[in-house]
Every structure is written in C-alpha cells, then in structure tokens.
C-alpha cells in the first residue's frame, strides 16, 4: 500500500516536472528508501523500524511531559530575563521556548545562563533546577519507559511465535495421521511433509530428525513429540567420528609435526605465553611513544616499522601458523578471536611493508596497538561485553541502515530547503555570529561553521551527523533560522527528535541484549549449554528397518549408517536468540503452554477430526500431503514474517 501510494505520487510528480520543464520543491525523492527497505535482505531493518513504531507511544507520551516542562520554564524564563537587553536568548516568548528546548539537549549551556549569571548569581537556580528535572530525571525516565516497553515487546513476540508454532504443529499433525491411528504419526508421513517444508534436507537428516523427535522410541510420533519439529529442524547433523584432527590421514612426518603443533597450542600455558607477548609488545610501544620526536615520519617508522615491531609481528605470525597447523584451518577460523588476531597481524605486517616503501603514509601506526585489545579477553566482564557486541552486530547493522535512511530522508529535504546559501560571515547580530565569522589567516579557532552546508548528499550527511551528536547543534539551527527563515527551526527540531527516538531505542536494545546475555550465562552453566546445543542420536539399523519400511530409502541410507550396528550422530543447534530464549523463559513457557492447553480444552478441541487418510500408500506426494505441507509452510511463512518483520 505505502509503496503503491509513494509510486503514484512520484509518477504524478515526474509528469508535473516534465510538463513544467523545471524542477520544483521535490521532497518525494526523500521517500525512495522505502523501496530499498522493502527487499528480502532488509528483514532486520524492517524489524527495527517496527520496533521504533511500537516504542513510539511511550516516547511520545514522555515527550509530551518534557514539552510541558519546557513550556513552563520557557514562560518563566521570558518573564525573568526578557527585560535584559544583553540577553538575546529570551527576547520573545518564542526565543525563550527555543532556548529552553535547546537547553534540553544541553547544547547551549552554559552560554544561555551567562548573561543572567553576570547580573546575579542567583539566576543560576533557574537553570540548575531546569536541567536537574528535565535532563536527569525526565530524560532518564524516558529511557526507562522505552526500555520497559522494549523488553515487554520482545517477550510477547517470543510467546506469540511459540504458541503459533504449536498451533501449526497441531494442524499439521491432524492432517498427517491416519484414521486408524489418530494419535501417532508414521515416518512416511513425516518424511512426506519434510520434503515440502525443507526440500534440501537429505534422507539421512530426515531420519535423524525423526529419531530425535521420537523420544519414546516407539517408531511413531505423538503430537507431544511432534511439537518439537521446529526446534529439531534447526539442528545440523554430523557423524560422531568427524571430531578427529585434520592431519589424521597425511604423511607420517607431517603428522608428527602437526601433532606437536597441536599439543603446543592446546597446552594450557600457551595462551598465557601469548598474553605475555602481547603485554611486552604494549610496553615496547609505550617506550616508543615516549621517545617519539617531532618528525612525524621518523617517529612513525620507529613506532611501526622498527626492529621490535618486526620481532613481535614475526612472533604473531608464528603463533597464527602454529595454530592453523595444529587445529586445522576450519577450526582456527571458527573462532571470532582467531579471525581478529589473524586480520590484525596481517594488517600490522602490511603496515611494516607500507612504511618501508611509502614513509609518508604514517597512518598505519594505528595497526600495531590493535592487538592489545586481545588482552581484554582475559577478564570475564570484557568477554561478556565483546560477546554482547557480537550478538548485537546484526542489530547494529539494521540500526546503521535505519540511520542512513533517516539521514537520506532529511538530507534530501535539507538540500531542497537549504542548498545554495552562503553561510560565511552570516548571522550578524545574532548569538551565533562568532561561529560563522570567517578569518582568512585563521587566528581564531571558531568561524568554521560556514562549512556545515547542505550542498550535496555527503556534506548534508556530515552536517546531520553533527546534529545527531547534538553538541552545538543550535549554532547550525540558529544560523539557518537567521539566513533562511525562522520556520527552518522546525526541520532541525524534528531531526533532533527523530534521532533521539532512534538512539533511545538503540540504548534500550543494547541494555536488553546485554542483560539477556548475562542472565542467560548466570542461569546456564557451560556444561548445560553444551548439552543444550549438542544433541546425540544413536541409530540402530534394526530399529530403523522397523519404522522406515521402504527398501529404496534404506538402500540410500546404507552408505551413512552402520548396517546391522549402531551409528552415532551429533546434532549442533545454532546459538541463536530464539534457542537461548527457549532456555531462558523455560518456566514461563510451561505456564504459556498450560494456558494454551486450558484454552484448547475450553474450545472443545478434538484431535482426531478432519483427518487426512495418511495410511493410503499412494499419497506420499499426493494432494493431502500438499495441503499439510502448505499448512506447515504457511505457518512457517507466518513465523518468518514474525521473526523478520517484527
């Protein structure tokens, strides 16, 4: 709908431009990101936007309260200070309100207080009380309100998804069982529905999934067992014997060497040696900084390409090689920290090379100290922090895209409104005059503000970033207000409120993610987690024969399984949020399930109505199965909608 309307408006506008043969005020360009956001890859972005809209009511409520305080203080400020000709902040009621609004962001403090303060010290009470109430109490309460809304929505979403999946399982189960045995589902039907739900799943994995679900080992699934189908679908299966080292089949001398490297890197003191190495590198760096000279190139070379740098980088390279050889490339790069180490070491090596060939490119000095970050891993709290950062990465990307979309929108509007004005030496006789006073010889540190323009997308973006940071944003606002129009303030204030909303939600989501992680860690021991993320399944050939009953299928499975014996497989569950949530809220989940059951009973739910004839041999790919698959796929579609859109 939104896309259609936007497209319509854009089309009409294009025609208008074609007819009038001149460009006019074209804000619809600002709406273009809508088409970007509504693509398959921007699921996270849509979810974030939805979170923003869901958190809007509490934010708007709190904004109302804030504006009430701003108005009252604006009124009082006008009556207190407007009589003073030196005080330009409170000349009219409108000025007074703007000053108090800017003061809400602290950007014009203490300047706004100073004229009054020079008259009497006691006027400071007005400003101190205002900032204490608005900034320290109300703004923090706003964060609290948003945070509370945010966590509630998160939990509610999980609950709804869970109950919806349960419902989908019930529907699918009802359609998949036969009339003869309305309470048990056979393997054939299970495999049939999976062929639609997960078409890429191999036969082996289907069998393993069935076995995993069938906790009673009865050979048929009950509804209770089938409920876990979504959970079991997440598991990635691997034969148990895949845990042996990679060099197991190589040439004997290589094998001995690799074994030695393996023993070394898994030696318990190896990590400490590396930490010692990093620490001494840090000390060497500090020494290099202390003896730095005024010649930039020389000190850069001493810092980043001297003998000690080469020594330490060489040792790091050795460490990486040892680990890669000892653990195998796959296992080495499966750890985020190892990737970080490898990248930083490579970059430092590159830095040395660059400094030798292009000595003026001194910026690579920053590459050497990066490895020091590894030291922070030693402490548990930092591990939590970095872990949260990794967890937050997708969210951060979504936030970044949302911010970029917001920037794009406001940049386009800003360019339409403010492009082409020369701000140099503008705003004479206003409070921001000094900030725009350009002096060619550069004797003063101020006067650079004329650079903050809306000429093109890039400068607009940087100008908007300055507004996001809030500090001194009123200089830009007042500058454009005096050059363009008093009404342009609305643009800046709206932008401030928009970014404030987005940033409050960012803070709330960081808080939520961190607390979730910490509480999860506290409730779950390392062993419990391992057990939760690893499922072991033992497949007996005889047992398999009894419930598969399909010769062709058994033939296919022959290569993966031990014929006549038992094969063990390990299923690894991804450590995604939903899986962790299921563990975290396990007591609540029980309550919800119980509630759902009560509701079903009061609705008079009879599990054996509406049965498809699952026993008919020919229908494994028949229309009934199609319907069943539809139900599941449909419900899964809803699920994906819930997880992606919301």
Closest CA to 581 of 161, 237, 228: 161
Q: Which is nearer to a second copy, 126 or 421 (CB)?
A: 126
Nearest approach in angstroms of CB 381 to a second copy is 5
Tokens of 42: 């921007």
* Dihedral angle sign, alpha carbons of residues 643, 644, 645, 646: positive
Nearest approach in angstroms of CB 600 to a second copy is 25
Dist. CA 406–CA 248, nearest whole Å: 54
Nearest approach in angstroms of CB 444 to a second copy is 6
**Consecutive H or E run containing 538:** strand 534-540
Q: Hunting for tokens 């619809």 — which residue is that?
A: 28
Q: Which is nearer to a second copy, 292 or 329 (CB)?
A: 292
* 427, 433 Cβ separation under 8 angstroms: yes
* 401, 45 Cβ separation under 8 angstroms: yes
Q: Which is nearer to a second copy, 35 or 382 (CB)?
A: 382
Q: Which is nearer to a second copy, 84 or 600 (CB)?
A: 84
Sheet holding 236-239, edge to edge: 236-239, 566-572, 534-540
Nearest approach in angstroms of CB 301 to a second copy is 11
Q: Which is nearer to a second copy, 130 or 190 (CB)?
A: 130
Dist. CA 280–CA 312, nearest whole Å: 9
Q: Which is nearer to a second copy, 384 or 560 (CB)?
A: 384
Nearest approach in angstroms of CB 346 to a second copy is 18
Please provide residue 568's backbone torsions phi and psi, each rounded to the nearest 5 degrees.
Answer: -110, 135
Closest CA to 96 of 88, 107, 104: 88
Nearest approach in angstroms of CB 532 to a second copy is 21
Q: Which is nearer to a second copy, 140 or 343 (CB)?
A: 140
Q: Which is nearer to a second copy, 587 or 601 (CB)?
A: 587
Nearest approach in angstroms of CB 114 to a second copy is 3
Nearest approach in angstroms of CB 515 to a second copy is 6
Those residues whose C-beta lies under 8 Å from the C-beta of residue 269, and which sit 6 or more positions away, are: none
* Dihedral angle sign, alpha carbons of residues 639, 643, 645, 646: positive
Nearest approach in angstroms of CB 66 to a second copy is 11
Tokens of 403: 């911010």
Tokens of 341: 């180490």
Dist. CA 507–CA 518, nearest whole Å: 17
Neighbour-count burial of 178, counting CB atoms closer than 10 A to its CB (0-12 exposed, 13-18 middle, 19+ buried) = middle
Dist. CA 610–CA 171, nearest whole Å: 9
Nearest approach in angstroms of CB 579 to a second copy is 22
Dist. CA 405–CA 403, nearest whole Å: 5
Tokens of 461: 């973006």
SS3 content of the chain, % helix, strand, coil (to 5): 75, 5, 25
Dist. CA 324–CA 262, nearest whole Å: 9
∠ CA 594-598-603, nearest 5°, is 145
Q: Which is nearer to a second copy, 182 or 387 (CB)?
A: 387
Q: Which is nearer to a second copy, 457 or 484 (CB)?
A: 457
Q: Which is nearer to a second copy, 475 or 570 (CB)?
A: 475
* Dihedral angle sign, alpha carbons of residues 552, 553, 556, 557: negative
Q: Which is nearer to a second copy, 203 or 431 (CB)?
A: 431
Q: Which is nearer to a second copy, 128 or 572 (CB)?
A: 128
Dist. CA 179–CA 177, nearest whole Å: 7
Q: Which is nearer to a second copy, 117 or 592 (CB)?
A: 117
∠ CA 167-168-170, nearest 5°, is 65
Q: Which is nearer to a second copy, 21 or 360 (CB)?
A: 360
Dist. CA 374–CA 337, nearest whole Å: 8
Those residues whose C-beta lies under 8 Å from the C-beta of residue 119, and which sit 6 or more positions away, are: 84
Nearest approach in angstroms of CB 468 to a second copy is 9
Q: Which is nearer to a second copy, 228 or 430 (CB)?
A: 430
Distance of CA 504 to the CA centre of its chain: 15
Nearest approach in angstroms of CB 511 to a second copy is 5
Please provide residue 359's backbone torsions phi and psi, each rounded to the nearest 5 degrees.
Answer: -65, -20
Nearest approach in angstroms of CB 580 to a second copy is 16
CB atoms within 10 A of CB 354: 17
Closest CA to 14 of 24, 5, 1: 24
Nearest approach in angstroms of CB 61 to a second copy is 5
Nearest approach in angstroms of CB 514 to a second copy is 4
Nearest approach in angstroms of CB 593 to a second copy is 17
Tokens of 169: 């399982």
SS (H, E, C) 373-440: HHHHHHCHHHHHHHHHHHHHHHHHHHHHHHHHHHHHHHHHHHHHHHCCCCCCCCCCCCCCHHHHCCCC
């Amino acid at each position: 709908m939104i896309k259609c309307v936007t497209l319509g408006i854009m089309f009409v506008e294009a025609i208008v431009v074609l007819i009038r043969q001149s460009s006019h005020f074209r804000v619809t360009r600002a709406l273009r990101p809508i088409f970007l956001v509504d693509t398959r890859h921007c699921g996270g972005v849509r979810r974030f936007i939805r979170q923003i809209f869901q958190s809007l009511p509490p934010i708007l409520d709190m904004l109302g309260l804030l504006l009430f305080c701003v108005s009252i203080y604006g009124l009082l400020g006008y009556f207190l200070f407007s009589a003073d000709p030196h005080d330009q902040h409170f000349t009219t009621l409108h000025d007074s309100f703007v000053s108090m609004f800017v003061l809400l962001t602290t950007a014009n403090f203490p300047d706004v207080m100073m004229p009054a303060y020079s008259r009497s010290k006691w006027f400071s009470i007005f400003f101190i009380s205002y900032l204490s109430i608005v900034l320290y109490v109300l703004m923090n309460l706003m964060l609290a309100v948003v945070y509370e809304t945010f966590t509630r929505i998160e939990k509610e979403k999980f609950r709804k998804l869970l109950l919806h999946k349960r419902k989908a399982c019930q529907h699918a189960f009802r359609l998949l069982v036969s009339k003869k045995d309305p309470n048990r589902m056979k393997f054939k039907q299970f495999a049939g529905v999976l062929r639609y739900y997960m078409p890429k799943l191999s036969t082996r994995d289907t069998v393993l999934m069935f076995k995993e679900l069938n906790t009673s080992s009865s050979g048929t699934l009950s509804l209770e067992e089938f409920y876990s189908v979504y959970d079991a679908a997440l598991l990635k299966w691997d034969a148990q014997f895949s845990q042996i080292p990679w060099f197991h089949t190589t040439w004997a001398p290589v094998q001995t060497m690799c074994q030695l490297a393996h023993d070394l890197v898994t030696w318990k003191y190896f990590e400490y040696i590396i930490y010692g190495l990093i620490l001494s590198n840090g000390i060497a760096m500090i020494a290099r900084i202390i003896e730095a000279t005024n010649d930039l190139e020389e000190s850069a070379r001493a810092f980043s390409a001297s003998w000690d740098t080469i020594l330490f980088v060489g040792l790091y390279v050795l460490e990486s090689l040892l680990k890669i050889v000892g653990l195998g490339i796959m296992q080495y790069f499966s750890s985020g920290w190892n990737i970080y180490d490898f990248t930083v070491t490579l970059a430092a090596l590159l830095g040395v090379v660059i400094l030798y060939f292009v000595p003026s490119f001194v910026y690579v000095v920053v590459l050497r100290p990066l490895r020091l970050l590894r030291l922070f891993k030693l402490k548990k709290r930092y591990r939590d922090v970095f872990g949260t950062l990794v967890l937050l990465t997708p969210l951060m990307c979504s936030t970044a895209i949302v911010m970029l979309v917001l920037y794009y929108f406001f940049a386009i509007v800003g360019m339409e409104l403010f492009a082409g004005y020369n701000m140099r030496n503008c705003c004479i006789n206003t409070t921001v005059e000094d900030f725009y006073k350009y002096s060619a010889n550069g004797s003063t540190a101020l006067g650079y503000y004329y650079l903050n323009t809306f000429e093109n997308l890039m400068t607009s973006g940087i100008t908007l970033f300055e507004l996001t940071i809030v500090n001194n944003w009123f200089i830009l606002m007042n500058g454009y207000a005096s050059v363009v129009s008093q009404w342009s303030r609305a643009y800046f204030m709206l932008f401030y409120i928009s970014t404030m909303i987005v940033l409050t939600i960012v803070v709330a989501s960081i808080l939520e993610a961190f607390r979730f992680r910490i509480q999860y860690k506290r409730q779950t021991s390392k062993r419990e987690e391992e057990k939760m993320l690893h499922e072991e399944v033992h497949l007996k050939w005889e047992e398999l024969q009894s419930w598969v009953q399909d010769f062709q299928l058994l033939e296919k499975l022959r290569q993966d399984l031990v014929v006549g014996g038992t094969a063990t497989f390990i299923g690894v569950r991804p450590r995604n949020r939903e899986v962790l949530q299921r563990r975290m809220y396990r007591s609540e989940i029980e309550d919800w399930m119980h509630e759902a059951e009560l509701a079903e009973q009061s609705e008079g739910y009879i599990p054996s109505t509406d049965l498809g004839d699952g026993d008919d041999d020919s229908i494994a790919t028949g229309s009934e199965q199609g319907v069943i698959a539809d139900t599941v796929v449909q419900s899964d579609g809803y699920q994906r909608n819930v997880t992606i859109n919301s």
